[in-house]
Structure 1
Amino acid sequence: MIIKPLISEDEAKETSRLFQKCWQNTYKDILPDVFLDNIPENAWVKRLNESGRHNLIFIDDDNKIRAAVSYGRPRDTRMLGCGELMALYVEPDFQGFNIGKTLLNAAENELKKMGYGKIYLWCIDGDENARQFFEHFGWVNNATEKFVEIAGKEYKYLLYQKNLHD
C-alpha cells in the first residue's frame, strides 16, 4: 500500500470512478437517487487536472486506487489567502483503517508547505460522518454557509476551517 501524487490520465480516470462510487454511497440519503445514479464515472477527470489542484492517491496491494485527497489554492474568492481541502474520499470497504487520517495529514502538511496558515473546506449539511471526522481532527465549523444547486434543488454547505499554526 502506498500514497503518491496522482500523475497519469489513467489514475485520474480511476480516481474519478472512486469519487463517483463514494458520492453514490456517502450522499445516498442526502441527494436524489436519480442524480446519484446518473453521475458519469469520468465526472471529476477534468477537475482533478485543474491548475492549482493537487491530488494524493492511496493504492492498495492490488494496485487499485482506494482513496484520494485533493487540495490546493482556494476556488472560493471569499477565501483568498487560505488553502482549500477540496475532496477526501475513502472507498467504503477501506474506511476505519486510518487511510482518511493519513491522507488528511498529508494534505494539511502540503498546504502548510505551500505557505497557507489557514485552510478550509465545505461540507454538505447532513453528512454527519464527514463533520465528525473533520471535527475530530481539529477542524471548526465557523457557522458560515453557502447554498449550491444540485439536481434543481439547493443544498446547504457548511464552512470548516483549521489553523495550521496552532
Structure 2
Amino acid sequence: MSVIIRPPLPGDETALGPLHNHIWRIAYAGLMPSDYLQARSDVEATQRWKRLIRMLDRNRRDSNGRTVLVAEDGNRLVGFITVGPARDQEMDGFVELMSLYVHPDARGTGVAQKLTDHGLSDGPSYLWVLDRNRRAQAFYCKLGYDLDGATKPHEPTRTTEVRMIRY
C-alpha cells in the first residue's frame, strides 16, 4: 500500500462523506444503536466535509485551529485524522485527537500510524473513545495513550466514552 498523507482538497468531500459513514457503520456496529448508524446521511456528511474543506487555510487548519489530513492510496481515500486545541477546559495545553478513521480494508496496513505520525506532535495529547471499543483502545495504547478515568456520554446516543491521555 503506497499511502500519501495530505490535506483534503476541494472535491474530496464526495469520497469523504460516504467513507466517513461507511467506517462508522462498521467500526461502531454493536457499540452504537444500529438505527443511529443507518440513519447517517451520506449527503449530509458530504456537505459537512465540503464546508470543512472550504474553511482550511494553506496550513491545513480551520478557524478553530484544527488540522485535517487524509490518507490516499492510489486514487482512493482510505482514512483521515483531525487534531486541534483541546475542547475540554481541564485539558488546556493538550492537543486533542478529534478523529482518526481508516477504511476497514486498510486496517493493519500502517495507515492509521502514518496519519498519527503526520497529524500529531510529540507533545501531550488526548482523545475520547467508546468505552466498549476495545480494538481502538488497544491501538491507542500502542501509541502511548492510557485511560485517565474520565468518562462522558456520546450526546446523540448516550453511549459512554472514555478519555485516553498521552504525555
1:31 is matched with 32
> What is the deviation of 1:67?
0.8
Unaligned runs of 5+ in 2: 56-61
Q: 1:7 to 1:73 in 2, by over 3 A?
A: farther
- Structure 1-normalised TM-score? 0.84
Identity of aligned residues (%): 26
Q: 1:12 to 1:80 in 2, by over 3 A?
A: farther
Aligned CA RMSD, in angstroms, stands at 1.7
Superposition map of 1:1-166 within 5 A: 1-8=3-10, 10-41=11-42, 42-43=44-45, 44-45=48-49, 46=51, 49=55, 50-51=62-63, 52-61=65-74, 63-109=75-121, 112=122, 117-151=123-157, 154-163=158-167
SS at match of 1:30: coil
Q: Distance in 2 between matches of 1:105 and 1:58?
A: 12
User: 4+ residue stretches of structure 1 with deviation over 3 A?
Assistant: 46-50
What CA deviation, in whole Å up to 9, does each residue of 1:36-95 have, x standing for no partner? 01101233424565522211111111x111111111112223322211101101000111
Q: Distance in 2 between matches of 1:156 and 1:21?
A: 21
Q: Distance in 2 between matches of 1:105 and 1:22?
A: 21
Q: Distance in 1 between matches of 2:147 and 2:159?
A: 17
Residue identity in the other structure for 2:138: Q
Q: Distance in 2 between matches of 1:71 and 1:132?
A: 20
Q: Distance in 1 between matches of 2:85 and 2:138?
A: 24
What CA deviation, in whole Å up to 9, does each residue of 1:110-130 have, x standing for no partner? xx5xxxx31110001111110
> What is the deviation of 1:160?
0.6
2:59 is matched with none
> What is the deviation of 1:35?
0.8
**Residues 94, 126 of structure 2: 8 Å contact kept:** yes
Q: Distance in 2 between matches of 1:53 and 1:16?
A: 18
Residue identity in the other structure for 2:163: L
Q: 1:28 to 1:128 in 2, by over 3 A?
A: same
> What is the deviation of 1:148?
2.5
Total equivalences in the alignment? 153
- Structure 2-normalised TM-score? 0.83
Q: Distance in 2 between matches of 1:148 and 1:134?
A: 19
